[in-house]
Structures are given as C-alpha cells and as structure tokens.
Copies of this chain bind each other. A is one copy, B any other.
C-alpha cells in the first residue's frame, strides 16, 4: 500500500490508472478506523481495480465548540488496518495540503439546502457545508468511479447523494450497513471517549432502535408513537441527554407523521462530552 500526503503526487499517481480505464473506488474517512470503515474499504477493493482511502480530520466540518483538536488520531495503526483491508493507496493530507491558504481563508463552499436543515444539521451549524465542501474537493482530487460511505452517518449519505446529483458529479455513491459491537453499540471513532458507565448507557440507542423495528414489524405506522417509545428507552438512562429522535423520509429528511417507507429513524444522544448517533432505515414489510 502506498501512503501519499501530497495532492499533486496523488493526482500524478492515479492518472495512468484512469487513462488505462481502471476503475477507482474511494473511501473518505477521518481515520481512527474501526470495522465500519474497514467494511467500506474491503468493498471498494472487491468492486474496483484500485482502492483509495483518505484519512483527513477536516477542520471545516467541526463547530467552534466541537472536538476537532481532540478527535482521536492514530495514523500508524490506521495504515496497517487499511493495508489489511486491501487499500492500494492511502491519502493522508495535512490541513496545509487540503487548505493551502489556511482553512479559515477558504472562499468556496458547497452548500446543500433542505436535507441539511434538520437532525444533525440543526445541532451542528455549518457541519454539512464543511462535509460537502471537503468531499467535493476529495472527489476532484481522487476522481473515483465509486465512493463508499457508512449508513451510520445517514444524513451525510443523503447530503452527498444530493450534491452528486445536483452538480452532475461523475461518481456513484455506495452505502454500507452500520457495523455494531457484539452488544449492539454502533461502531464509531468517538466510542473511545466513553467512560465504562457511559458506554453501558449508550447501549440504549441500539436497544431503542430494536424496539422501534419490532413496533414497525407489528404494523405501527404512527411516527409519534415510535419516537415516544424510543425516548422512553433512552430516558431511562440518567447519563443520556437527547439531541433529537427523528422519524423522516429516508431520501428527503422530511418529517413523517405517518410511516411511509423508506423511513429513516435517527437519533443523536450525548453521554457526557460524547455525542453519539445511530439510526435504522425501514424499507417496509
């Protein structure tokens, strides 16, 4: 596996593959890789001639009071995991590579409306503008035929798909299922922040989604009832502070009162300083 930090070097390296008609699969990440990331990487390798992954903790998508400076980083471990997952080229730019004039001097932003307004967009102003902008940059740098994203960041997937369609970007977006610990906790680089007590309390997220799924299978179509049941499960945990519990159309993120598949049931809950998200998509019976 090649590890490359420089934008022009990466472009130079990938050019002959593109000219030879090879397909490039791309997995953009913020590193501190877990099995969720690795499932994307293995899929990128299985589907394409060349598998490229990036590790870049993007300052543009963090709010002023968020965890940019303390976001976990371990490039050595990540490199070894990515190589084992079949990645051919690991792109590891610094902030100075991605934002040569400093990220606070960036003048161009990709703004996606409507689908960014609710859920995490409402709690993290500017977050999805930062995501869309950096993903747009990465797509132009790597020029992949296919890019892989985890369903864990459900709203991010909707935003990226909207951007790709609206701007005629030449990349297919593939989404891979949430990967969970054996006890049900959705894998996240941020899980490392949790104290043992918080981690235990955080199991309420996947437990509440399981309950929602049971209700849906039993024929419940009342979104309010489902949200209420989820809330009851999570509020039993004194350490849990709910940002949102949302039932919405899976492609538009528009609130649903009556379940009409595909439905996204999404949660964001804080445990101490750690904000976790989890979700499920209901495709109907």
Contact = CB atoms under 8 A, between A and B. Distances in A.
Interface in A92-134: 106-115, 132-133
A133 B111 CA distance: 10
A11 B170 CA distance: 10
Nearest to A136: B167
Contacts of A163: 108
Nearest to A19: B21
Contacts of A111: 108-111
Contacts of A140: 167-170
Interface in A123-169: 132-133, 136-137, 140-141, 143, 162-163, 166-169
Interface residues of A, number: 28
Most B Cβ at <10 Å: residue of A106, A111, A166? A166
Most B Cβ at <10 Å: residue of A106, A110, A112? A110
A128 to B, nearest CB: 11
Contacts of A168: 7, 137, 140-141
Nearest to A129: B111
Interface in A161-192: 162-163, 166-170
A162 B7 contact: no
A112 to B, nearest CB: 5
A167 B113 contact: no
Nearest to A21: B19
Nearest to A141: B168
A270 B8 CA distance: 45
A136 B140 CA distance: 11
Given A107-B113, A108-B132, A109-B113, 9 more contacts: A106-B166, A107-B162, A108-B113, A108-B162, A108-B167, A110-B167, A137-B167, A137-B168, A140-B170
4 pairs of A and B residues whose beta carbons are closest in the complex: A108-B166, A140-B168, A107-B113, A137-B168
27 contacts: A7-B168, A19-B19, A19-B21, A106-B166, A107-B113, A107-B162, A107-B166, A108-B111, A108-B112, A108-B132, A108-B162, A108-B163, A108-B167, A109-B111, A109-B113, A110-B167, A111-B111, A133-B167, A136-B167, A137-B166, A137-B167, A140-B167, A140-B168, A140-B169, A140-B170, A141-B168, A143-B170
